[in-house]
Amino acid sequence: MSTTSDSKEAGRWLARAGLRPTRQRTALASLLVEGGNRHLTAEALYAEAQKAGADVSLATVYNALKAFTDAGLLREVNIEAGRVYYDTRVDEHPHFYFEDDGSIADAPVGSVKISELPDVPEGCEVATVDVVIRLRRR
Amino acid sequence: MSTTSDSKEAGRWLARAGLRPTRQRTALASLLVEGGNRHLTAEALYAEAQKAGADVSLATVYNALKAFTDAGLLREVNIEAGRVYYDTRVDEHPHFYFEDDGSIADAPVGSVKISELPDVPEGCEVATVDVVIRLRRR
DNA sequence: CTCAATGCAAAGTATTTGCAACCGA
DNA sequence: TCGGTTGCAAATACTTTGCATTGAG
C-alpha cells in the first residue's frame, strides 16, 4: 500500500535529483523506495503500478526509469539480452543471476574483491566494474 | 579471404562439437576462426558473410550462433541491453566495454583477480563469473 | 501562462519460430 | 532415403519516439 510517508519519502527522493514530482513519478517512486533493494524491469514496475491503482502508461514507466537513472537515483543492470533491470541500489556491487528463472539478487557487499585492475587503454578511465555471478541449480 | 586451410580448420572446429558441417556453417565458422579473438553480433557476422559472398540468411546466422554456443564453441557476452555479442574465446575472462561506441575488447587475462567469492545461495553452484569493465573517454 | 511531462499508438530493433524445401551422411 | 538444416516471412519481445494534451510551478 502507498502511505503518506511513502509519498513524502518519494517526494524527497525526486527532489534530491531535481525531478519534477508529478503524480506518476511520485507513484512510481513510492513503489521503488518502499520495499528496500529491488531489481525490476519496466514491465514489472508497470504491473505493480497498475495493481496499486496508479494510472501510469507503460511508456511513462520507461521514460521515468530513464529519467531516474540519468539523475543517479537508479542503476541499470544489463545481464540478460533484451531485458534491462533497474536496481534501487546505486553503489557498485556484484549481482547473483539465477539462470534457472532469470532473477537477480544482490551479492553480499565486499564479497568479491578485485585485487588488480588491468591497465586501461590510453585516454580512457574506468566508469564502473560490473560483476555478475551466474548461478545454476546444483 | 577464405582459404582452403580456413575451411579445413572450420571443419575441424565443427567436427569437434559434433555439428554437421553444412555449407553455411562452414562459411560462418571460417569467418569466426580466422581473424583470432573476436566479439561480434549476429548482424555483424551476417554482414561479413554477405561481403564474403556466402549465401546465408540472417535467421541461419542466429541459429548457427546459438548452435555453436550450445556446443561450447562460442561464449555469449551480455553487456548491452538488446544486443548479444559472441566471443570466440570460451574461457572465463574479463571484458572492456567502451561506452562511447559500444564496442567490446578482451581485458588482459588475469588482470582482474577475484580474491573472495561470496557464499552462494543454498543448492546453487557458480556457473561463471562475468566481469565487465566499463570505460569512458577521459 | 509556460514548458516539462504524459498518454497513446506507431515505429524501431533484436531475436525467435513455423513450416516447406533442401542437402549431407 | 532420412532427419537435421536452411530460408523466408511472420511473430514476438522489449524499448523508443512523435505528437497532441495535460498539469506543475
pLDDT at res. B2: 44
Closest CA to A124 of B5, B48, B107, B89: B107
Does A20 contact strand D, using a CB cutoff of 7 Å?
A: yes
The beta strands (E) that lie in A5-123 are given as 39-40, 75-80, 83-87, 95-98, 103-106
DSSP B116: -
44-73 on A, CB < 7 Å from strand D: 58-59, 62-63, 66
Q: Is A92 exposed, middle or buried (0-12, 13-18, 19+ CB in 10 A)?
A: exposed
Mean of per-residue pLDDT scores for chain B = 89
Quick: pLDDT tens for A62-80: 999 999 999 999 999 999 8
Estimate in Å the CA A80 to C1' C6 gap, whole number: 29
Band the pLDDT of A2: cuts 50, 70, 90.
very low
Asked if A134 lies within 8 A of B127 by C-beta distance, the reply is yes
Q: B96 falls in which pLDDT band (50, 70, 90)?
A: very high
| Angle between the N-to-C axes of helices A58-70 and A23-33, in degrees from 0 to 180, rounded to the nearest 10 | 70
Residues of A in contact with B79 (CB under 8 A): 78
Mean pLDDT of B58-84: 94
Looking at residue A3, what is its pLDDT? 52
Shortest CB distance from B125 goes to which of A117, A120, A135?
A: A135
Domain A4-85, CATH among 1.10.150.20, 1.10.10.10, 1.10.490.10, 3.30.870.10: 1.10.10.10
Which amino acid would we find at residue A36?
G
Return mean pLDDT, chain A.
88
**Chain A to chain B, count of Cβ pairs less than 8 Å apart?**
128
Distance CA A57, CA A47 (A): 10
Are B107 and B87 in contact by the 8 Å Cβ rule? The answer is no
Q: What's the full length of chain A, in residues?
A: 138
Q: Would you tell me how many other CB atoms lie within 10 Å of the CB of residue A69? A: 16
Minimum mean pLDDT range among A10-14, B32-36, B60-64 = B32-36
Is B2 within 7 A of strand D by CB distance?
no
pTM here is: 0.88
Q: Which nucleotide is nearest to A25 (CA to C1')?
A: C5
